[in-house]
Structure 1
């Protein structure tokens, strides 16, 4: 937590924020950091920071990647 917000470090600058798990999630929005190294989700205030030492599918804390489940 950083200043009361959840901070997730990502190995990618283009990703989707879904909020918390159902039923506490929010509309799924795509976030593109562009030239910045951090962005805050406008729905849930999660702070995302780019970490170039992580692979694209890695997060810190681990397990923060949303995987679409096939129907």
Structure 2
């Protein structure tokens, strides 16, 4: 997992769904300055969840690790943004 602890994901491309390898993560919506409040999402027992702000559908994929996403490039680098 990333060195900042909780992976952050965005949907700047407007993908209908994003597969991720984490069940606990932060959604930022689009990339800044068009982002929404960065919210913590926990899928719990479910394998998919919809962000209440941007309606991105996140699907858990156990074959992915850390900040890997399908489609690629949906991980948000918090350290680089700071």
TM range (shorter): 0.7 to 0.9
TM-fit CA distance, 1:55: 1.1
* CA shift digits 1:26-48 (9 cap, x unpaired): 00001110100000000000000
Structure 1 residue runs of 4+, over 6 Å off?
none
Q: Flag structure 2 segments of 5+ consecutive residues without an equivalent.
A: 1-13
* Structure of larger gyration radius: 1
Q: Find the partner of 2:61 among 42, 48, 51.
A: 51
Q: Structure 1: 5+ residue runs without aligned partners?
A: none
Higher fraction of helix: 2
Count of equivalent residues? 68
RMSD over equivalenced CA pairs, Å: 1.8
TM-score where L is the length of structure 1: 0.85
Q: For residue 70 of structure 1, report the CA deviation from its aligned partner.
A: 6.3
Alignment of 1:1-71 (within 5 A): 6-68=16-78, 69=80, 71=82
CA distance in 1, matches of 2:38, 2:46: 21
